[in-house]
Structure 1
Amino acid sequence: MKTLQKLVASDPETLQMMSGKPYEPKFMDLLLLQCAPHFYTEEQKAQINHFKQNSSVESRSETKNTAEKRKIEEISEEESDTSMNKKPRQEINYSSPDLPTKFKNRFPELNNDDFKFLLSKKLYSSDVDPNKNRLSMPENEIACDFLTEAEVTKLCERTESNNFVGVEVTVLDPCLREFTILLKRWKMRSTYTYNLSARWKHIVSANKFEQDQELEIWTCRANNKLYFLLENV
């Protein structure tokens, strides 16, 4: 405080005349105004207050921009890479199993070519864990493309809380019972994975699926719906 008093010991108008420059408020003036307001003219006080308001706005703007930048940087790679979604995938070259007759009978209006075999899936503990409530299908194990461009775009959309919206699909279990759940796409280590989530645990419970059990997973489209077809192996 003693140092500040020495700094403002001279009359401010005299200091301004000595400097030969128009008065321009500085950050130190904000402090000096609080402890020694009598050393400033009313015009200078108004300039300092205006300077204070502008500095506050700029500070809030900078803080907001920094927070938004950090939020963008924190978005994980799996949730923002739309370009990878739109790249054509290479189909896996192996012979698919025969389409179960029950699926043909369930969709008599479809031809064999309308059904796509996706993968043979061995269930892990995480696939039957009701707390996780999802079936994972690694993208590099899926035999073919099965989504439309609109669905690919939908998989990248987020809610206001920054969660994935997902694509609504219908699952037919081995008993041909229908379940409406969500398909989502996540990044898992070095690859992407599709997940049947939201009420998947009900399918596990109804079929008493267990760890190490194997499923064949097919897909088709009927009645403007995307179906996933599950068959026990």
Structure 2
Amino acid sequence: MRDLKTLKELVASVTDWKSLEKMSCKPFKPSILHLAISQDAPHLYSEEQLIQLKNFSKLLSRAESKPNTNKTDKRVAKKRQIEERPKEERIMPAMIKKPRKIILVQNGPSPDLSRRIVLGHSGTSSDLPRRIILEHSGPSPDLPVQFKNRVTELSGHDLKYLMHKRLFCSDVRPNNNRLSMPMNEIMCEFLTQDEIEKLDERDGSNGKGRLVGLEVTVLDPCLREFSLALKKWSMQRTDTYNLVTNWNRIVFINEFEEGHELQIWSFRVDNKLYLLLNKL
């Protein structure tokens, strides 16, 4: 790669706008490929890019929902042919609804898991988003004694093992400033009903602003305390919890790098949610 001095000389040699425009970085453009990748790996994209992809998905859905006159005419003609046949010769095609395929991805060792699916508020409509909760039936990993002692010192309770997390490049990249925790990798439900509803709230009078998030306290591997915000990003197939705001500070102080592995635990002090990071 060219060093900074060479790059500055190259830019200085450009005198016309067209040449400069060719050299500039192309802006992010949503595509079907990006949409497919983001559905199973949202951690590879920034929050702004995920919002663009969500809007792009809505546009595709609208385009696909437009009636196709030719197909409609063929269906009507076929239905008439069936109705005109003698009753004993009529064969109506069975309507078979394919079961929804759910892929669970684990990025590290974990206990035996059982799956519990919770529908939307009504609990009946197939159009409502599904919350997928993994409940581990085997023993949780052992938490080092210094962490247990700290939880006891804080009068903490309801200690839960949430997930094994392998850090991706997007988790330590400074311009992202967030740790992603895909919901389909969380081992158990750790939020109260009020907290779940809080994660769906947005600021602004019309409720269409930025996500408000939930304030949590995070203990790093050295048991230092940090105040962060927990937010939930919703995509077509995957919901992801994200620790934001001061995450870059935790990465810098602990020298986290891509490939490092963490155990993430939760506990409560009174009613306040705490998260604990144990570096393996």
Short-chain TM bin: 0.5 to 0.7
Which residue is 1:30 aligned to? none
Which residue is 1:162 aligned to? 209
Q: Secondary structure at the match of 2:133?
A: coil
Which residue is 2:258 aligned to? 211
TM-score, normalised to structure 2, is: 0.51
Amino acid in the other structure paired with 2:254: N
Measure how far apart 1:224 and its partner are: 3.2
Aligned residues: 156
Amino acid in the other structure paired with 2:268: R
- Correspondent of 2:163 among 119, 125, 130: 119
Amino acid in the other structure paired with 1:190: R
- Correspondent of 2:231 among 177, 184, 189: 184
Q: Is the 8 A contact 1:122 1:215 kept in 2?
A: yes
Which residue is 1:28 aligned to? none
TM-score, normalised to structure 1, is: 0.60
Which residue is 1:228 aligned to? 275
Q: Is the 8 A contact 1:118 1:219 kept in 2?
A: yes
Amino acid in the other structure paired with 2:160: K
Amino acid in the other structure paired with 1:194: Y
Closer, same or farther: CA 121–189 of 1 in aligned 2, 3 Å:
farther
Closer, same or farther: CA 193–87 of 1 in aligned 2, 3 Å:
closer
Q: Secondary structure at the match of 1:150?
A: helix
Unaligned runs of 5+ in 1: 1-72
CA distance in 2, matches of 1:104, 1:203: 21
Measure how far apart 1:103 and its partner are: 1.8
Q: Secondary structure at the match of 1:119?
A: strand
Closer, same or farther: CA 209–87 of 1 in aligned 2, 3 Å:
closer
Cα root mean square deviation, aligned? 2.6
My pick for the range that moved more, 162-171 or 188-197, is 188-197
Q: Which has the larger radius of gyration?
A: 1
Identity between Structure 1 and Structure 2 (%): 51
Is 1:143 equivalent to 2:187 in the alignment?
A: yes
Measure how far apart 1:107 and its partner are: 2.1
**More helix per residue:** 1
Unaligned runs of 5+ in 2: 1-53, 59-118, 122-127
Q: Is the 8 A contact 2:133 2:183 kept in 1?
A: no
Q: Is the 8 A contact 2:133 2:184 kept in 1?
A: no
Q: Secondary structure at the match of 2:218?
A: strand
Which residue is 1:47 aligned to? none
- Correspondent of 1:89 among 130, 133, 145: 133
Measure how far apart 1:95 and its partner are: 3.5
Measure how far apart 1:225 and its partner are: 1.8
Q: Secondary structure at the match of 1:175?
A: coil
